[in-house]
Structure 1
Amino acid sequence: MQTADQTDISITPATGKDNLPPTSALKQVLIVDDDPALLLSICAGLEGNPCFRAVTAASGREALDIIDSGGLDLAVLDISMPDMDGIQLLLALSESFPEIPSIVMTGFSSPVMKQELKQAGALTVLEKPLDIDTLEYEITRALDGWSGRSSCLPLEIFLQLAAMEHRTIHLKVFRPEDRACGSFFFRDGLLIDAEQGELTGDSAVLAMLEWQEFTLGLKEYRPPFPEPRVNSALVYLLLNTSCRLDQYGSSDCLDRVRKELLRLQRQNKSKIVRR
């Protein structure tokens, strides 16, 4: 098997946003490492794969810029990097981009470290020196099997529970089919703002309420709070909630939603503690 340090390929892959390929059917995999030789080696080893294409970043902050530009399906990141290390990047990904799975590369692993990395959001932990065949297999497996944590309950019910329990939360919503994302902002149970693409306020709320499949994320929401941009009453925006609750069984589905929000809250707190 070929390892990542066994090639002397002299090609120079571009890094940063200019390395993002044109829109195509290929999945896009971001490789993050501060070692240029290793990036060359990995790109050479993965070149020609019919299912995905590798793009690269030489630092955690450069990686976040690329991820923020959209269009990525998977991140493969090194733990030991200057400026922003891989653990910080992993936590940032888990918090702000939970729809993008992560594979971690490390030369200093232990069972405890592997467990902590997985708790922080890593899908797989690979040891250096990398075996290219193993890396390619894990990337393919992740792309084939990753579907996020989608909810089978209507989004309105999550919003209704946040209002009923006077939550102060930033609820992030992702739509896997087109990688769209948006946010709901609650202060003491009052929906004060929402964002989805260029939409804000009521327009953003109504647009996201039409989503049939979605994945949820939760972020801490603390003062100072902005001026409210949601002007309509929540009961109006959630006009269909009562019939949805009748369909799903009010007490049962609210209990399931409550458990999911608590799980997301605990997950978010554990990330903050690790920082």
Structure 2
Amino acid sequence: MDKVLIVDDDEQLLLIITEILGRYKSKFEVVPVKSGFEAIRALQEQKYSLVVTDLVMPGINGMVLLSYVTKNFPNIPCIIMTGHGTPELKERLEKKYSYFIQKPFSVTDLGELILSTLGQEQHLLGTMNGVSIPGFLKLVESENMTCICEIQAKDGRTGYLVFQGGVLFNATYGKLNGKKAAVELFKFDRVKIKFRNPPKKEFPRKISSSNAELLKEAGVA
């Protein structure tokens, strides 16, 4: 079942959200945390399908948390609960993230947005089996694809590659991200690949090396 991480320092609001979203328990499980620090720890310990976060929190705020998720879990979509900030901030966020809900909001509306977001993320653009990494990279580059690709080895090991316009922007594998993760994933042989639309509109580029350079380092080219 999908796990949804809800992050807000307002304990009363968090309690209300958790209680009302309990009606969706057959669809997804809610895990509430009270800080960005707790959220990061939770993400490191369990697999989540979605993060819902407030922006204004003490310590590790929502912006820092969003940056962490984008870098380390590019496959996880985020819903931003906004109640503060300038129009300029909102405009900047809208360029990067797809999902917002304005405070004060109906928790039922939040529940429906969660269902909608989870539904979109589960929609596959395509699946390929027994594919070589070099052949797959040529396909993505030639088609100028923008996508998140789940890469699964024969033994079940799984990582993610993030492409924008056919260019490799980021990779995650276990606790690795960026170039190190990409090199390890490129060592996989005859993989299963699932293509999905990226959950965020914009990704920072964490990999500057070319595919050829990464393949050579992985001992494939």
Question: Equivalents in 2 of 1:90, 1:61: separation in Å?
Answer: 12
Question: Equivalents in 2 of 1:119, 1:28: separation in Å?
Answer: 26
The residue that corresponds to 1:234 in the other structure is 220
Identity score, percent: 27
Q: In 2 relative to 1, CA 148–64 (structure 1 residues): closer, same or farther, beyond 3 Å? A: farther
Q: Offset at 1:29?
A: 0.7
The TM-score, its normalising length taken from structure 2, stands at 0.65
Aligned residue identity for 1:205: F
The residue that corresponds to 2:56 in the other structure is 80
Structure 2: segments with no counterpart, 5+ residues:
140-147, 163-170, 176-180, 209-213
The TM-score, its normalising length taken from structure 1, stands at 0.54
Tell whether 2:159 aligns with 1:181. yes
Aligned 8 A contact 1:98 1:148 in 2 = no
Tell whether 2:91 aligns with 1:115. yes
Aligned 8 A contact 2:51 2:79 in 1 = yes
Aligned residue identity for 1:156: P
For structure 1, which segment, 65-74 or 95-104, has the greater mean C-alpha deviation from structure 2 after superposition? 65-74
Tell whether 2:117 aligns with 1:142. yes
Paired residue for 2:192, among 197, 211, 216?
A: 211
The SS at the match of 2:81 is strand
Going by fraction, where is strand more abundant, 1 or 2? 2
Structure 1: segments with no counterpart, 5+ residues:
1-25, 162-171, 185-193, 223-227, 236-275
The residue that corresponds to 2:13 in the other structure is 38
The residue that corresponds to 2:67 in the other structure is 91
Higher RCO (C-alpha under 8 Å, 6+ residues apart): 2
Aligned residue identity for 1:52: F
The residue that corresponds to 1:54 in the other structure is 30
Q: Offset at 1:156?
A: 2.1
Aligned residue identity for 1:132: V
Q: Offset at 1:209?
A: 4.7
| Residue correspondences, number | 187
Question: Equivalents in 2 of 1:208, 1:62: separation in Å?
Answer: 37
Tell whether 2:111 aligns with 1:130. no
Aligned 8 A contact 2:4 2:48 in 1 = yes
Q: In 2 relative to 1, CA 62–149 (structure 1 residues): closer, same or farther, beyond 3 Å? A: farther
Q: In 2 relative to 1, CA 182–146 (structure 1 residues): closer, same or farther, beyond 3 Å? A: closer
Tell whether 2:198 aligns with 1:220. no
Q: In 2 relative to 1, CA 181–87 (structure 1 residues): closer, same or farther, beyond 3 Å? A: same
CA distances 1:171-203 after superposition (whole Å, capped 9, x unpaired): x96349x8932579xxxxxxxxx98559x9987
Aligned residue identity for 2:158: A
RMSD (CA atoms): 4.2
Q: In 2 relative to 1, CA 129–208 (structure 1 residues): closer, same or farther, beyond 3 Å? A: farther
CA distances 1:226-257 after superposition (whole Å, capped 9, x unpaired): xx9x877433xxxxxxxxxxxxxxxxxxxxxx
